Amino acid sequence: MKMTGARILLECLKQEGVDTVFGYPGGTVINLYDELFSFKDIRHILPRHEQAGVHAADGYARATGRVGVAIATSGPGATNTITGIATAYMDSIPLVVITGQVPTALIGNDAFQEVDIIGITRPCTKHNFLIKDVKEIATIIKKAFYIARTGRPGPVLVDLPKDVQIATTEFSYPDTIELRSYKPTVEGHPKQVEKAVSMLLSAKKPVIYVGGGVILGDAAGELQALAKMLNVPVTTTLMGLGAFPEDDPLALRLLGMHGTYFANMAVTNCDLLVAVGARFDDRVTGKIATFAPHAKIIHVDVDPTSIRKNVRVDLPIVGEVKDVLAKMLKVAEGQSANVSESRKNVEPWLAEISGWKEKHPITYKQTSSTIKPQFVIQKLRELSEPDAIIATDVGQHQMWTAQFFTFTKPRTLLSSGGLGTMGFGLPAAMGAQAAYPGRQVIAICGDGGFQMNMQELATLVQNRLPVKICILNNNFLGMVRQWQELFFEKRYSQTCMELPIDFIKLAEAFGAKGFQATKPDEVETTIKKAFETPGPVIMEFKIAREEKVLPMVPAGASLNEMVLNA
Amino acid sequence: MRHTITVLVENEFGVLSRVAGLFSGRGFNIDSLSVAPTNDESISRMTIVTRGDEQILEQISKQLNKLIDVIKVIDFTGGEAIEREMALIKVTAEESSRAEVLRIADIFRGKIIDVTPKSYTIEVTGAPAKIEAILELLRPLGLKELVRTGPVAIGRGSKGWKG
């Protein structure tokens, strides 16, 4: 049967199992939206800004592990998606973003709402396509999803001119796709795996350093089994939080700039560092020259470019982390005598780490007069459901969440790690809630980040997405203020957001509910009220204004040069 | 360290900018780049001359491989490749120097492809060092215009990369 390009696109999405798309109509996708009007197999959510639409698709992808889909029109619609795309690119999130384009005959003519989105998104997508012929739609969409979700995942943009949407052809969706130029290495080399296990078994002070790759690769189970079998402590990056339960005795929790004292000391003193699905970001390593100075480094990653990009590596293993970790487990299982010997040998190391944990736990000073943000985060953990999904913006609240929430399950923290995108939290939470209507989804925001995408309150209300929004309000762009305080003699240049916004009225204006807490003893009741109230709710906490995120490794310093109190 | 890298890519629009954009976006250096389709029309072959230390060259090679349209990356190290470059050189050639220009062109097996009373235009091919050498001799005589293609490279021996 002949179909229009617009219809074919929707059929392709259906074939890929897409149940929800986040999109914004416009002139060059109006034909697509006309088809969507009667296409009942896909739920469409209309955000209030295309950036938020892409973040929502991203949140959907992070929470579910499936490919998120966003649609935008050409020109400004397309350019509004860039921040969302770049955010997903930096964190390796699988997305397919479809943009409308002016008719092929007008491309290059500076037509109304024309922009070279292929050119613009080239550096921030895993790949992108311009579809020039209706006959190409099915194979290109197949390729787009395949590229987005395989190897190191990432966003793929498909630009679809208006006339291609109108043209008709026979539709058939390919079952498989073969790309001669794209063959990611899936399986880890068995010899390298064996070497890795023997290095682990003979190490006296091993540490496993886990990144988002373990979550993206659904390898948390294998990781936990391996760490527990060999008695090896595990530290995670921001993107890796949830891959290893933070309440486990082997958990070193977050490392790096705002990592725990014991994680940073363990990395500085270890004799073997096993990096799994992590990329040695500068926020993690601090000064490269003094990062893990006594350690041999094993690096497991599906992306060969990550290996030796920032640090020297003694043993590289390219492959999907799930495959490599499963193989490592198997090899270790076959050497039970060595394993029990090795477990004994690391005991002094674990004792040393326990000492650090006792000396400098992650903590803060409670007061009775002002609300400490860390206290709010701890209370949120205490009162929320065990499988609650947390989305954050970027800044102090993000780091307090990372330090104090205690994540125990993968895909429960959605945060912009690589790009550090303010305004990410609310729309990402929206995407996760659309995927899991029955789960508790909480957006933790600062007052700055919240204001970057607060229009999405309307989308939440319209689509009955009961996201609970926690605003830690200090009327500051807190993280920048913290840097100004520590490194710029408290010259608070443009970081004060003094305007007293009434977030409660704002919630009401959008048809949501809002509650405020100004004193510590109101925190618990405010959270309970918010959780009990149906629909989207803002809970605003007026927090201590000059509270800092500590410990902190100043930019460019070594991990063991932490500022513990300031 | 100077390296010659051959990149085989899908012959699709936009591939060149993906490759060039990779270099500029990551702060890698391109000395020269030449590109044309191969015997197999669906594949284009690029020859890129670049420089950097070992770690940078490893990244260049890996990052190129990571591009979806890249089929193969071959990094030639010293002596493995035969390199040829073409130059068109317009040089001042008046009465006093015409014979000298001709002699130099002849020594380098260059061809005179255009003649005026005031100039010769020479076509010369060879390894980049040979081009440098002829230029060094011609420069004092008055170089009017110079176009170089940048080298293309092919591996030594009987083994070939199909296409």
Contact B17 A119 (CB under 8 A): yes
Are A540 and A516 in contact by the 8 Å Cβ rule? The answer is: yes
The CATH number that applies at residue A14 is 3.40.50.970
Whether residue A50 lies in the annotated active site: yes
Q: Are residues A6 and A68 in the same domain?
A: yes
- How is residue A417 written in tokens? 């790690």
Among the partner residues A118, A180, A305, nearest to B14 by beta-carbon distance: A118
Burial label for A382, CB within 10 Å (0-12, 13-18, 19+), is exposed
Distance from CA of B103 to the nearest CA of A (A): 49
Partner residues linked to B8 by β-bridges: B45, B72
If you count them, how many residues does chain B have? 163
Among the partner residues B21, B58, B71, nearest to A122 by beta-carbon distance: B21
Partner residues linked to B110 by β-bridges: none
Q: Which of A11, A16, A35, A50 is catalytic?
A: A50
The answer to whether A182 faces chain B, any CB pair under 8 Å, is yes
Whether residue A385 lies in the annotated active site: no
Residue A378 host element (H or E): helix A373-383
Residue A383's domain comprises 373-542
User: What is the predicted pLDDT for the residue at A404?
Assistant: 98
Distance from CA of B19 to the nearest CA of A (A): 10
The answer to whether A178 faces chain B, any CB pair under 8 Å, is no
What's the mean pLDDT in B60-67? Answer: 96
Partner residues linked to A22 by β-bridges: A45, A70
Rama region for B160: left / alpha / beta (φ>0; ψ in -120 to 50; rest)? beta
DSSP state string for A379-434? HHHHHS-TT-EEEE-SSHHHHHHHHHS---STT-EE---SS--TT-HHHHHHHHHH
Collapsed DSSP state (helix, strand, coil) of residue A489: coil
Please indicate, yes or no, if residue A437 is contained in any of the structural domains.
yes
Q: Which parts of chain A register pLDDT below 70?
A: 566
If you count them, how many residues does chain A have? 566
Please indicate, yes or no, if residue A394 is contained in any of the structural domains.
yes
Q: What is the ipTM of this complex?
A: 0.93
Q: Which of A14, A15, A113, A135 is catalytic?
A: A113
Contact A181 B63 (CB under 8 A): no
Q: Are residues A256 and A280 in the same domain?
A: yes
Whether residue A476 lies in the annotated active site: no
Q: Are residues A201 and A349 in the same domain?
A: yes
Q: Which of A112, A333, A344, A347 is catalytic?
A: A112
DSSP A186: -
Residues on chain B touching A181 (C-beta within 8 angstroms): 9-10, 68-71
Residues on chain A touching B70 (C-beta within 8 angstroms): 181
Nearest CA in chain A to B64: A305
Q: Are residues A32 and A129 in the same domain?
A: yes
Q: Are residues A380 and A529 in the same domain?
A: yes
Contact A305 B63 (CB under 8 A): yes
Please indicate, yes or no, if residue A561 is contained in any of the structural domains.
no
- How is residue A238 written in tokens? 């921001």
Contact B68 A147 (CB under 8 A): yes
Among the partner residues B17, B58, B66, nearest to A122 by beta-carbon distance: B17
Whether residue A455 lies in the annotated active site: no
Contact B68 A127 (CB under 8 A): yes
Please indicate, yes or no, if residue A284 is contained in any of the structural domains.
yes
Q: Are residues A392 and A450 in the same domain?
A: yes
| Cβ neighbours, 10 Å, residue A489 | 8
Q: Are residues A378 and A354 in the same domain?
A: no
The number of distinct structural domains making up chain A is 3
Rama region for A65: left / alpha / beta (φ>0; ψ in -120 to 50; rest)? left
Alpha carbons A148 and A18: distance in angstroms, whole number: 14
Whether residue A378 lies in the annotated active site: no
- Is a pLDDT exceeding 80 seen at residue B79? no
Please indicate, yes or no, if residue A184 is contained in any of the structural domains.
no
What are chain B's domains?
2-78 (3.30.70.260), 82-152 (3.30.70.1150)
Q: Are residues A134 and A227 in the same domain?
A: no
The CATH number that applies at residue A215 is 3.40.50.1220
The answer to whether A420 faces chain B, any CB pair under 8 Å, is no
User: What is the predicted pLDDT for the residue at A273?
Assistant: 98
Across the A:B interface, residue pairs with CB atoms under 8 Å apart total 34
Distance from CA of A308 to the nearest CA of B (A): 7
Distance from CA of B151 to the nearest CA of A (A): 25
Nearest CA in chain A to B21: A123
Last residue of a domain, one of A359, A387, A422: A359
Please indicate, yes or no, if residue A178 is contained in any of the structural domains.
no
Contact B59 A303 (CB under 8 A): no
Which of A232, A244, A238, A325 lies closest to A270, judged by CA?
A232
Helices (H) and strands (E) in chain B, counts: 4, 9
- Is a pLDDT exceeding 70 seen at residue B5? yes
The answer to whether A303 faces chain B, any CB pair under 8 Å, is yes
Q: Are residues A107 and A156 in the same domain?
A: yes
Task: Report the sign of the C-alpha dihedral through residues A205, A211, A213, A214, in that order.
Answer: positive
Contacts of A103 (CB under 8 A, 6+ apart): A111, A161, A162, A163
Are B44 and B105 in contact by the 8 Å Cβ rule? The answer is: no
State the virtual CA torsion across B23, B26, B31, B37 in degrees, nearest 10.
-10
The answer to whether A304 faces chain B, any CB pair under 8 Å, is yes
Are A294 and A314 in contact by the 8 Å Cβ rule? The answer is: no
B contact set with A (CB within 8 A):
9-10, 14, 17-18, 21, 25, 55, 58-59, 62-63, 65-66, 68-71
Planar angle of CA A63, A69, A75, nearest 5 degrees:
135
What's the mean pLDDT in B146-155? Answer: 96
Please indicate, yes or no, if residue A367 is contained in any of the structural domains.
no
Q: Are residues A308 and A434 in the same domain?
A: no
Alpha carbons A280 and A273: distance in angstroms, whole number: 12
Q: Are residues A165 and A28 in the same domain?
A: yes
User: What is the predicted pLDDT for the residue at B162?
Assistant: 67
**Quick one: three-class SS letters along A206-263?**
EEEEECHHHHHCCCHHHHHHHHHHHCCCEEECCCCCCCCCCCCCCEEEECCCCCCHHH
Which of A46, A129, A117 lies closest to A80, judged by CA?
A117
User: What is the predicted pLDDT for the residue at A558?
Assistant: 96
Q: Are residues A136 and A87 in the same domain?
A: yes
Please indicate, yes or no, if residue A49 is contained in any of the structural domains.
yes
Reported as a single tens digit per residue, the pLDDT across A333-378 is: 999 999 999 999 999 999 999 999 999 999 999 988 999 999 999 9
Residues on chain B touching A127 (C-beta within 8 angstroms): 68-69
Burial label for B31, CB within 10 Å (0-12, 13-18, 19+), is middle
Pairing between β-strand A95-101 and β-strand A68-72 as defined by DSSP bridges = parallel
